[in-house]
Structure formats: structure tokens, C-alpha cells
Structure 1
Amino acid sequence: MKKINLLLLAVLAIFASCSGDDTVARSTVTIDISGLERLENGAEYQAWISNGAEVISLGRFTDVNFPKSFEALTGDVEGATQFLLSVEPGNDSSTEISQSILLSGDFVGNAATVDVSQNFGSYTSASGQFVLQTPTDNVSTNENSGLYWYVPATGQPGLKLPTLPAGWKYEGWVTVPGASGDVDLSTGRFTNVNNADESDPFSLNINPAPDFPGEDFINENVLSAYGVNTLPNLVGKQVFITIQPIFDNTSSSSSISPFVLRPLVGTVTQEAGSSVTNTMQINTASFPVGRVTRD
């Protein structure tokens, strides 16, 4: 009986050892992405794989040097049908994926092409028109210091953009000279092109603004806090729309800096009072793309 028990224990030990090897077997997932920018305010990128029922973290990173390799359980890697890259708030202890999914793609064999299309859809029909004006004060000599995305002749919105998924908002920007170099000033965040955006810190609010996204850059006290010491003349300046993660660790409804997703860009060519609106161009060629492989 003693010999049988010893033999049984040996068999169980061998079985446990083999089972342990299976559970700790790991495989590699390598990602190679172009077009990303380093995040601010402690935010991080996080890589994930999914089998359709479960999303499994591969790890977080902040630098944008590629390729990068991550290890995960072989069963999880082999069973994955999709790769996802999210933007996560800094100092976040949650183990759940955020709503701000940036890139994704389905595995075909052992590789996946990843881009923004699964999450954001197509921008081939996007367009933008805007005019210069400063309606929120009673001064008529500073009209080149503000812009709004609408068409005054028709009263129609000047932006045509897809509806965003949860976790993201649009934001308008203009680049102006500052005391220490160019400064990106936000016109405010929005999700609906038919309504005003969420903030107007640079306006004076003596009079109402158009009910469309835009901003008067005429509040000298606020401008000086951004290193802009004179009212900016926006003629000739760069204007663009970004898609921003909504959590970007700022307490205000506008961001500190523009995110890498910039679907529309333009240059101000028409001064205030012109019957011709300024137009924007599609900029989706700048969106990040990548390839993910597993072995």
C-alpha cells in the first residue's frame, strides 16, 4: 500500500508540473505604430487583446518609440481576435479599458492592421467652413481676432463631422504668436456642430455669440496667461479641429494642448466681413496607423 501511495504522489506531482507549465506558457505580441505623440498630464497608452468576450491588458507605455513587445499567456494570445490601443488617465488604478479607444484592428492569421476606422468611422465626407468676427463685445476694430464655424449667409453650421463614440470630444484650435513662440489656443470642446461649444474664456460676453463652435480672442487678461500679449490677428494663422480624449486631466472644458487626431486643418485667408468663408481640408493622412503581430 505504501508503494502505491508513493507512486500515486509521483504521478500527481508530474501532472501538476505539466499543468503548471501550460498555465505559465507565454507568447509575444509586437506592435509597430507610426504617428503617435507623447501624452501629457500623466496619461498613458495601454495595449489590449480581446477574444470577443474578454479584454486582456498587455501593458501601458508613455514613450512612442516602436516596435514594442509584450508578453501574455499563450492561450490568451492565440485566442485573441482583436487588438486595441486605448488612452488611459494618469494615476488610474482601474483594470478596465477606458472609453477612449484610439486604435483597433482584427487579427487575420497572426497579424492585425490597426487604425482609427473601427472606432471613429470615415472622415472622407468631413468639411469645415468658418468666418472671422468678434460678436461678444461692442468694438468693431478687432473683428479679425475671433472665429466661428458657421456660414452667416445661410445660418448653417460650418462643420460636417461624424458623431464621435463615447470617450471623445471635438475641439477647435488656432495657432498664434506668443511671447515665447507659437501658442495653440482652444476655441472650446463640442460634440454637436449645431450648438455652441463648452467654454468661452477668451470672449467678453457683453453680447451673445453665434450658437456654433467658436471663440472671440479678445479677453486680454486670459490671453496674457497663455503668453499672448496683444489681441491676435488670425489672418494667415493655422486653424484645426482635434479629437480629444475626454478625461485629459484638466479641470476645464478645454484642453491644455491638442491631441494627435486632427481631422480638419486650414489657414485663415479671408478677413472679417468677407462674403467668402474660410475653408478647411481633410487631414486624415496624419492619423496614426500600425501593425500588430503575435508569435
Structure 2
Amino acid sequence: MKKKMILAALALGFFASSCSDDDDNVSTSNSDLTLSLDGLEALGDDFVYEGWIIVDGSPVSTGTFSSVDFPQTFSVDTDQLDSASTFVLSIEPAIDTNPAPADTKILAGDFSGTVANVDSNGIVGDFSTSTGTYILATPTDADDSNEESGVWFLDNSSGTAVTGLNLPTLTDGWQYEGWAVIDGTPISTGTFTDPAAADDNAASSIYKGDTGNGPAYPGEDYLQNAPTGFTFPTDLRGATIVISVEPSPDNSTLPFTLKPLAHMVPTDALVHTAISMGTGPVSAISGFVTRN
């Protein structure tokens, strides 16, 4: 029921209304809105977080912030704050000419009295039942050498390749990204929204081999054009494979906070063999918001 109420508020306000100061409701006082949130990361210079309250179905900004030290308190129009049904947190460009909330909303929750418990499950995706499988292989080159230098998110345990990632459909403003963390440095396998299709860089990857784009699933062959400090082909055994959830547009070339799936490749892993992933380090962000 909570998720339905949040999504109903979003549908009424975010996509049908623009943000306003509600000039028809003139208030003579402000009240405090205090955010106590866990798990957010700094966004860098180009993006900020922005809070919103939903008042009569329309979003009203409560202010922007860059620091992820909490609690943080904002002064908000008392009448609007008392009338708010929902709190939402979004990621916005630091220089923002659009008064409406961006698609990239990361936390939401309905007020119950003076408190709104907020989380990412209903507004980004619920990863509590997510699972993943991958294989080591390099299908984009001409031979069976260097097979430990590629990772593909598919499951071939039945003898036929099928989708290897069980992930929820993300809301607008978000995308998945695969990573191989090699000697502590994450190197992307590409972004995608559909785990049952090739990722966005399937045809344009600078790392893959020269004989094809690989299977129609997310993945990457690390065969050439290695980043500075690395040598390709490489050996992914001992590396960590990660699936992250990224803002779109993305705030960084590094993985975002939300990482629902991860797995260290066994040092004795066999190539062309299905390997199961485990739960990642961060599958949800949460906290609470208080109005007084």
C-alpha cells in the first residue's frame, strides 16, 4: 500500500505539474524539515540532491544540498509542510534551469504524522530477490585463448545461454552498469536497462575483440586498449564482478552507491561455466524525514 501511495503521488505531481511556490497559499511562517538519511554518497561538482514535498499532488522544493553528513535541517513554509503527503529526494544538475524534479529520484516515503520513512525500494527498484549468474569467456575474438579475460552475464548451465541477471525494471532516470574490479580499480562492462539484451556499448566497446560484438547479453571482453596501468588481455580470476545502479545522466565514471549484486571470481574458476553472484554491498538506501 505504501508503494502505491508514493507512486500515485508521483504520477499526480511530478509528471503532470511543475514545481511552484504556490503563490495562492501565502504563509507567514516557516517550520523545520530535518533529514536523517543513510547510505548517500557525494555527487561531485556537477550534481546536487534536492528534497521535495508533495502538496495537493504537486512537488514543492525544500532545498538542495551536497554534503552527505546528516542530520540536515531546512526551513520550509509551515502551511505547505503541514499539508505535505510525501517526501521525495532527487538528483539534480548543479546548474538547473528546470523547476520540476528530475527523473532521477532516489528516495521517497509518505508522511505518517510528523515522520516519513523513506527508502529507495519503491522509487528506484526493489533488489531484495535479485540474483545473478555470469561466465568467463571472450566471444569477441577469433579463438579460445584468453577466455578468462571476459565476463558475460548469462547462464549456460542448461547447455543453452539464457539471461543471467534477475533484476527489476528500473524507474526512469536509472540504468544498470556492470563492472570488473581489477586490482581495486573498477572497469565498466557497459550500461544496460534490459538484462536480456546486449548492453549499450556492445558495438562500440574499445575493449572487445575484432570479430564480433558478443552474445546478446550484457558483458565485456577485456582484450585490447587497456586503461593506463593495466594490460589486456587480463585474468579476471580473483577480480570482483559487480552490478551497480547508476543515475542517468551519470554523476561519475565510478560505480554509484547502489550495488545490488557482487561476487569475487574464484581463483580456480573454470571458463565457459556458470558462476553465481551474491548480494552486493548496498541494495537499498533509507532514512527518515521529520517535520516540526
Q: TM-score, normalised by structure 1?
A: 0.83
Deviation at residue 139 of structure 1 after TM alignment: 4.2
Q: CA deviation at 1:24?
A: 2.9
Query: What corresponds to 2:214 in structure 1?
Result: 209
- Deviation, 1:119, is 1.1
Q: Secondary structure at the match of 1:56?
A: strand
- In structure 1, the partner of 2:139 is 135
Letter in 1 for 2:269: E
**1:25 to 2:36 alignment:** no
CA contact 1:41–1:248 (8 Å) conserved in 2? no
Are 1:229 and 2:234 counterparts? Answer: no
Superposition CA RMSD, Å: 1.8
Deviation of 1:284 after TM superposition, in Å, equals: 7.0
Choose between structure 1 and 2: higher helix proportion. Answer: 1
Q: Distance in 1 between matches of 2:40 and 2:114?
A: 23
Say yes or no: does 1:34 pair with 2:38.
yes
Q: What is the CA–CA distance in structure 2 between the aligned matches of 1:190 and 1:41, rounded to whole Å? A: 25
Residues 217 and 76 (structure 1), Cα distance of their counterparts in 2 relative to 1, 3 Å cut: same
User: Per-residue displacement from partner, 1:128-184 (whole Å, max 9, x unpaired)?
Assistant: 00000111112433111110001232211100111111111111111012xxxx211
Paired with 1:284 and 1:116, the residues of 2 have a C-alpha distance of: 15
Aligned length: 261
Distance 2:99 2:109 in 1: 21
The equivalent of 1:271 in structure 2 is 269
CA apart distance, 1:230: 4.4
Measure, in 2, the Cα distance between the counterparts of 1:228 and 1:173: 15
Aligned sequence identity (%): 34
Q: Could you list the runs of 5+ residues in structure 2 that have no partner in the other structure?
A: 1-25
- From 258, 262, 266, the equivalent of 1:261 is 258
How far residue 238 of structure 1 moved from its aligned partner, in angstroms, is 0.9
Matched, 1:292 2:289: yes
Q: Select between 34-43 and 186-195 the one with higher mean Cα deviation.
A: 34-43
1:84 to 82, 88, 105: 88
Distance in 1 between the 2:110 and 2:83 partners? 12
Amino acid at match of 1:140: D
Length-normalised TM-score, structure 2:
0.84
Q: Flag structure 1 segments of 5+ consecutive residues without an equivalent.
A: 1-21, 250-254
Instruction: Please say if residues 56 and 83 of structure 2, whose CA atoms lie closer than 8 Å, have aligned partners that are also in contact.
Output: no
Structural mapping, 1:1-295, within 5 Å: 23-40=27-44, 42-152=46-156, 153-177=159-183, 182-199=184-201, 200-219=205-224, 221=225, 223-225=226-228, 227-248=229-250, 256-269=253-266, 271-275=269-273, 277-283=274-280, 286-295=283-292
In structure 1, distance between residues paired with 2:217 and 2:50: 34
| 1:239-280 deviation line (CA, Å, top 9, x unaligned) | 11111111126xxxxx611110111111112634354x1111
Contact in 2 for aligned 1:32/1:291 (Cα 8 Å):
yes
Kindly state the Cα deviation for residue 207 of structure 1 after the two structures are TM-superposed: 2.7
Q: In 2 relative to 1, CA 98–206 (structure 1 residues): closer, same or farther, beyond 3 Å?
A: same
Which amino acid in the other structure matches residue 273 of structure 1? V
Question: 3-state DSSP class of the match of 2:227?
Answer: helix
Secondary structure of the structure 1 residue equivalent to 2:122: helix
Instruction: Tell me the distance in 1 between the aligned counterparts of 2:79 and 2:257.
Output: 34
User: Could you report, residue by residue, the CA deviation over 1:53-107 in whole angstroms, capped at 9, with x for unpaired residues?
Assistant: 1101111111111100011110111001111111112322221100010001110
Paired amino acid for 2:60: I
Contact 1:126–1:160 under 8 Å retained in 2: yes
